[in-house]
Structure 1
Amino acid sequence: MKTPGLLYIAAIAVLCPACAGDGQQSDQQVTADRLITSEKASFRIDTLRTGLENPWGMVWLPDGRVLVTERKGEILALGNDPGKTEKLKGFPEVYERGQGGLMDIQLHPYYAKNGWIYVTYARPGKEGGSTTLARFRLTGNEIIDFEALYQTTPLSTSGVHFGSRIVFDEAGYLYFSTGERGIKANAQDLTNDMGKIHRLHDDGRIPSDNPFIDHPAAKPSIWSYGHRNIQGMAYDPVNRILYATEHGPRGGDELNIIEKGKNYGWPIITYGIDYSGAIISELTTKEGMEQPIHYWTPSIATCGLLYYTGNRYTDWQGNLFSGALAQTHIARIEVTNGIYKHEERLLAGIGRVRHIAQDTDGFITVLTEGPGILLKLVPAE
Structure 2
Amino acid sequence: MAAYALLLFFSCDGTQRSGGVPVGTASVIATEKASFYIDTLYTGLENPWGMAWLPDGRMLVTERKGEIWIFEAEHYTGKKLTGLPEVYQRGQGGLMDIQLHPHYRENGWIYVTCAKPGDGGGSTALMRFRLTGTQISDVETLYQTTPLSASGVHFGSRIAFDKHGYLYFSTGERGTKENAQNLSNDMGKIHRLHDDGRIPADNPFTNQPGAKPSIWSYGHRNVQGLAYDESGDVLYATEHGPRGGDELNIIEKGKNYGWPSITYGIDYSGAIISEQTEQEGMEQPIHYWTPSIATCGLLYYHGDRYPGWKGNLFAGALALTHIARIEVENEKYVHEEKLLQNIGRVRYLAQSPDGLIFVLTEDPGMLLKLVPAA
TM-score by length of 1: 0.93
User: What is the rounded CA distance, in whole Å, between the counterparts of 1:39 and 1:80 in structure 2?
Assistant: 31
Matched, 1:239 2:232: yes
**2:189 alignment partner in structure 1:** 196
For the residue of structure 1 that corresponds to 2:163, the secondary structure is coil
For the residue of structure 2 that corresponds to 1:176, the secondary structure is strand
User: What is the rounded CA distance, in whole Å, between the counterparts of 2:162 and 2:191 in structure 1?
Assistant: 13
**2:344 alignment partner in structure 1:** 351
RMSD: 1.1
**2:356 alignment partner in structure 1:** 363
Matched, 1:65 2:42: no
**2:43 alignment partner in structure 1:** 50
Contact 2:59-2:73 at 8 Å conserved across structures = no
**TM-aligned CA distance change 1:28 to 1:143, over 3 Å:** closer
- Among 276, 279, 292, which residue is 2:285 paired with? 292
**1:82, CA displacement in angstroms?**
4.8
User: What is the rounded CA distance, in whole Å, between the counterparts of 1:366 and 1:73 in structure 2?
Assistant: 20
- Among 211, 217, 222, which residue is 2:210 paired with? 217
Matched, 1:151 2:144: yes
Structure 2 counterpart of 1:252, one-letter code: G
Q: Describe how 1:63-142 pairs up with structure 2 within 5 A.
A: 63-80=56-73, 82=75, 84-142=77-135
Contact 1:52-1:372 at 8 Å conserved across structures = yes
**1:29, CA displacement in angstroms?**
2.3
Structure 1 counterpart of 2:67, one-letter code: E
Structure 2 counterpart of 1:246, one-letter code: E
User: What is the rounded CA distance, in whole Å, between the counterparts of 2:158 and 2:5 in structure 1?
Assistant: 33
Contact 1:301-1:327 at 8 Å conserved across structures = yes
User: What is the rounded CA distance, in whole Å, between the counterparts of 1:173 and 1:81 in structure 2?
Assistant: 32
**2:6 alignment partner in structure 1:** 29
**TM-aligned CA distance change 1:145 to 1:180, over 3 Å:** same
Residues 123-132 or 31-40, more deviating: 31-40
Residues 108-117 or 75-84, more deviating: 75-84
In the alignment, structure 1 segments of 5+ residues that lack a partner are: 1-9, 13-26
- Among 245, 266, 269, which residue is 1:273 paired with? 266
Deviating 4+ runs (over 6 angstroms): none
User: What is the rounded CA distance, in whole Å, between the counterparts of 1:177 and 1:378 in structure 2?
Assistant: 31
For the residue of structure 2 that corresponds to 1:29, the secondary structure is helix
Contact 1:185-1:267 at 8 Å conserved across structures = yes
- Among 155, 180, 186, which residue is 2:179 paired with? 186
Deviations 1:261-314 (A, max 9, x none): 000000000000000000000000000000000000000000000000111011
Q: Which has the higher contact order (CA 8 A, sep 6+)?
A: 1
User: What is the rounded CA distance, in whole Å, between the counterparts of 1:81 and 1:63 in structure 2?
Assistant: 11
User: What is the rounded CA distance, in whole Å, between the counterparts of 2:263 and 2:294 in structure 1?
Assistant: 15
The count of residues paired between Structure 1 and Structure 2 equals: 358
Structure 2 counterpart of 1:132, one-letter code: A
In the alignment, structure 2 segments of 5+ residues that lack a partner are: 11-20
User: What is the rounded CA distance, in whole Å, between the counterparts of 1:258 and 1:49 in structure 2?
Assistant: 34
Matched, 1:249 2:226: no
Structure 1 counterpart of 2:266, one-letter code: I
**1:84, CA displacement in angstroms?**
2.8
TM-score by length of 2: 0.94
Percent identity, aligned pairs only?
74
